[in-house]
């Protein structure tokens, strides 16, 4: 069985210092309240917002372990019916955590149903009355924590968002933080670095995202295990990156294709046209390609389309040798 790369407690969690420091206090306060009143045993509701791969699910799991409670995990877009959510709510015990990833993708009626669940710990549902109609039933729930994670916090309705007492924004990781994560996990993949340089190079190409860094690390480990007795040096990193079309700046083949398309245009280009030019679907462009390129200053998003910046052109030229 593959070893878990997730942190087990707050002390093992690298990065997000401000969020971790706050959670340590809130978890301790929750334990103190529970000791004085067993019925007041749950951490207040929490929502994490930030880009994909920044550790929102990991931090939820760590928080559950620090509280000594159970966590149930659901995907927002998989909750199609009230019953899908209800079957997870009714099995919660006092102090448990229900974590909904991509919570912005909840259907509106599910989101609205959660108002009373979060406020009053009460599930209001309609059931068959046996006479061809339906009747309301109120199910009391134990005090629990609803945790949400989202890449699009603005899509949460105001009444829903305001019911989360704690809201945390996950930030991009520094290269030093990513290098430390890599060093802590390389042994779990049965490998080792020959120096600090390979970890630094992988970190630089990881777009500030731990998930990306660990994906790159696994590629490098596979090559190291096969060709260098598990030792990762710069040659191994270079080979793994070259064959996987990963640039030193972390640009993927699709990123290069996207920038090349913009560079060939003399005026701002809309999303639909870019998708047609690059043969990359619009969702991938919007959610996976553009956020990083925009953050790095390689592109600008204008009301009438996208343009490549001077920095973007310089980076593209350096990557393609044009």
Active site (annotated) includes residue 101: yes
Residue 31: is it exposed, middle or buried by C-beta count within 10 angstroms (0-12/13-18/19+)?
A: middle
Q: Nearest 5°: phi and psi at 108?
A: -55, -40
3-class SS shares of the chain: helix, strand, coil, % to 5: 50, 15, 35
Active site (annotated) includes residue 56: yes
Q: Strand 305-308 vs strand 299-302: parallel, antiparallel, or unpaired?
A: antiparallel
Q: Which of 56, 200, 201, 207 is catalytic?
A: 56
Nearest to 164 by CA among 43, 82, 62: 43
Q: Is 25 annotated as a binding residue?
A: no
Q: Is 316 annotated as a binding residue?
A: no
Q: Nearest 5°: phi and psi at 261?
A: -65, -45
Q: Is 76 annotated as a binding residue?
A: no
Q: Is 188 annotated as a binding residue?
A: no
Q: What angle do CA 5, 6, 10 make, to 5 degrees?
A: 140
Q: Is 6 annotated as a binding residue?
A: yes
CA distance 7 to 246: 27
CA distance 322 to 319: 8
Q: Is 5 annotated as a binding residue?
A: yes
Nearest to 251 by CA among 172, 151, 313, 319: 319
Q: Which of 211, 239, 257, 265 is catalytic?
A: 211
Give residue 208's region: left, alpha or beta (phi > 0; psi -120 to 50): left
Nearest to 254 by CA among 221, 274, 280: 280
Q: Is 53 annotated as a binding residue?
A: yes
Q: Is 211 annotated as a binding residue?
A: yes
Q: Is 173 annotated as a binding residue?
A: yes
Q: Is 174 annotated as a binding residue?
A: no
Q: Is 119 annotated as a binding residue?
A: yes
Q: Is 58 annotated as a binding residue?
A: yes
Active site (annotated) includes residue 278: no
Q: Which of 19, 69, 151, 278 is catalytic?
A: 151
Q: Which of 57, 63, 269, 315 is catalytic?
A: 57
Q: Which of 63, 69, 96, 101 is catalytic?
A: 101
Q: Which residues are catalytic?
A: 56-57, 101, 151, 211
Bind-site residues: 5-6, 53, 56-58, 119-121, 163, 173, 211, 301, 306
Bind-site residues for DNA: 301, 306
Bind-site residues for ATP: 5-6, 53, 56-58, 119-121, 163, 173, 211
């Amino acid at each position: 069985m593959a070893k878990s790369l997730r942190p087990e407690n707050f002390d093992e969690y690298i990065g997000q210092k401000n969020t971790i420091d706050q959670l340590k206090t809130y978890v301790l306060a929750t334990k103190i309240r529970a000791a004085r009143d067993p019925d007041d045993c749950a951490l207040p509701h929490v929502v994490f917002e930030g880009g994909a791969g920044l550790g929102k699910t990991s931090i939820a799991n760590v928080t559950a372990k620090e509280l000594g409670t159970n966590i149930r995990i659901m995907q927002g877009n998989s909750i199609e019916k009230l019953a899908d959510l209800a079957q997870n709510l009714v099995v919660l015990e006092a102090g448990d955590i229900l974590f909904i990833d991509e919570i912005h993708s909840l259907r509106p009626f599910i989101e609205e149903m959660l108002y009373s669940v979060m406020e009053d710990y009460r599930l209001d549902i309609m059931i068959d009355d046996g006479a061809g109609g339906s009747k309301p039933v109120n199910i009391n729930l134990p005090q629990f924590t609803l945790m949400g994670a989202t890449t699009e916090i603005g899509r949460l309705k105001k009444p829903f968002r305001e019911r989360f007492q704690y809201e945390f924004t996950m930030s991009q990781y520094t290269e030093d933080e990513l290098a430390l994560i890599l060093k802590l996990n390389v042994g779990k993949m049965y490998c080792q670095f020959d120096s600090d340089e390979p970890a630094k190079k992988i970190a630089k190409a990881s777009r500030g995202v731990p998930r990306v860094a660990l994906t790159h690390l696994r590629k490098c480990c596979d090559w190291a295990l096969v060709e260098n007795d598990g030792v990762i040096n710069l040659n191994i990193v270079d080979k793994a990156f070259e064959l996987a079309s990963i640039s030193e700046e972390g640009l993927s083949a699709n990123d290069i294709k996207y920038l090349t398309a913009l560079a060939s245009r003399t005026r701002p280009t809309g999303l639909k046209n870019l998708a047609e030019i690059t043969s990359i679907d619009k969702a991938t462009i919007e959610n996976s390609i553009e956020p990083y390129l925009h953050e790095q200053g390689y592109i600008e998003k204008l009301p009438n389309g996208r343009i490549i910046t001077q920095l973007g052109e310089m980076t593209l030229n350096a990557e393609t040798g044009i």
